[in-house]
C-alpha cells in the first residue's frame, strides 16, 4: 500500500459501487470491492455508495462488517459516503425504519428521502469553495438531507433553500448527491487527498 497509488475500497453490499470503483480507478487509485472484514482491513480508505441505507445496514451486520466498519471509522480510516452512504455515516438518522442503525462518525442528523421519491429527483449547481470556484453539478436521487450539523462537523455545501447537502469531519466526507454518475471528479479527488494524507 502506497500513498502514490492508494488502495481504496468501495463497500459492495448493495448500491452503485461499480460506478465509484470506475471513478476511483480513473483517478489512479487501486479500487476494490469490499464485502468482508478481511478486505476492509487491507484498504487505505473506503467509499460507501448510494443505494438503500436500511438494506445496507442489515447486510453489513449479516456479513459481520458493521463492527469492523465502526472500528475503522473510529480509528481514523478516511471514508466518503454518498447518499445512502451519508446516512450510514451520520450519528443520527431521524426517520430510519424500525431497528435501523448507522455506523456513525459524522456529527450530523440526517433525514432519509428528504427530497421525495425517485420521481422527485433533480439536478442543480452548487457552490463549494473547498473544491474551487467552478460550481459542482449535483444529481439528487431519493436523496437525504442534513437536518443539523453538530460542532465537530463542517457544512461544505447547501442547496438554494439553505439545506445542507455536503459535510466533512476530519477524515470523513459525506454528500447527499451522486458525483459518481455525473462525471464530476472533484469530490473523489478531494477524498483521495484525505486518503493519501492519512496513509
* 65-96: pLDDT as tens digits: 999 999 999 999 999 999 999 999 999 999 88
pLDDT, mean of residues 31-51: 97
CA dist., res. 188 & res. 173, Å (int): 10
The region that residue 105 occupies, defined by phi over 0 for left and psi between -120 and 50 for alpha, beta otherwise, is left
- Quick one: average pLDDT of 13-25? 95
Q: Does some domain include residue 56?
A: yes
State how many domains the chain has. 1
Tell me if 1 is assigned to some domain.
no
Q: Which domain holds residue 121?
A: 7-198
> Is residue 2 a part of any domain in this protein?
no
Q: pTM surpassing 0.85?
A: yes
3-class SS of residue 187: helix
Report the distance separating Cα 149 and Cα 110, nearest Å: 9
Q: Mean pLDDT, to the nearest integer, of 1-10?
A: 78
Task: Give the 3-state secondary structure of residue 161.
Answer: coil
Q: How much is the pLDDT for 2?
A: 44
Residue pair 188/167 in contact by the 8 Å Cβ criterion: no
Give the integer Cα–Cα distance in Å for 4 and 24: 13
Pick the more confident residue, 179 or 119.
Answer: 179
Confidence band for 120, pLDDT divided at 50, 70 and 90? low
* Widest CA span in the chain: 43
**Confidence bin at 3 (pLDDT 50/70/90):** very low
Going by pLDDT thresholds of 50, 70 and 90, the confidence category of residue 117 is: low
Report the percent of the chain where pLDDT is more than 70.
Answer: 96
- Domain CATH for 93: 3.40.50.880
Distance from C-alpha of 146 to C-alpha of 142, rounded to nearest angstrom: 13
Over range 120-130, report the average pLDDT: 89
In this prediction, residue 119 carries a pLDDT of 57
Enumerate the active-site residues.
Answer: 83, 178, 180
Q: Which of 80, 84, 168 is nearest to 130 (CA)?
A: 168
Q: How confident is the model at residue 116 (pLDDT cuts 50, 70, 90)?
A: low
Q: Picking from 63-67, 102-106, 122-126, which range would have the lowest pLDDT averaged per residue?
A: 122-126
Q: Report if residue 14 sits inside a domain.
A: yes
Query: How many angstroms separate the Cα of 18 from the Cα of each of 73, 194, 199?
Result: 22, 21, 24
- Flag whether 81 is in a domain: yes
Amino acid at each position: 500500500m502506497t500513498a502514490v497509488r492508494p488502495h481504496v475500497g468501495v463497500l459492495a453490499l448493495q448500491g452503485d459501487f461499480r460506478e465509484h470503483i470506475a471513478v476511483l480507478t480513473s483517478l489512479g487509485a487501486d479500487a476494490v470491492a469490499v464485502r468482508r472484514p478481511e478486505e476492509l482491513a487491507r484498504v487505505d480508505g473506503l467509499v460507501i455508495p448510494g443505494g438503500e441505507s436500511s438494506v445496507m445496514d442489515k447486510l453489513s451486520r449479516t456479513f459481520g462488517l458493521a463492527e469492523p466498519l465502526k472500528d475503522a471509522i473510529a480509528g481514523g480510516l478516511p471514508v466518503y459516503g454518498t447518499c445512502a452512504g451519508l446516512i450510514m455515516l451520520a450519528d443520527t438518522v431521524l426517520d430510519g425504519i424500525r431497528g435501523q442503525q448507522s455506523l456513525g462518525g459524522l456529527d450530523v442528523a440526517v433525514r432519509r428521502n428528504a427530497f421525495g421519491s425517485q420521481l422527485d429527483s433533480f439536478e442543480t449547481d452548487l457552490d463549494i469553495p473547498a473544491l474551487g470556484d467552478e460550481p459542482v453539478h449535483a444529481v439528487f436521487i431519493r436523496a437525504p438531507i442534513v437536518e443539523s450539523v453538530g460542532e465537530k462537523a463542517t457544512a461544505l455545501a447547501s442547496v438554494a433553500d439553505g439545506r445542507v447537502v455536503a459535510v466533512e469531519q476530519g477524515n470523513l466526507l459525506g454528500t447527499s448527491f451522486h458525483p459518481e454518475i455525473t462525471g464530476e471528479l472533484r469530490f473523489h479527488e478531494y477524498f483521495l487527498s484525505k486518503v493519501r494524507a492519512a496513509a
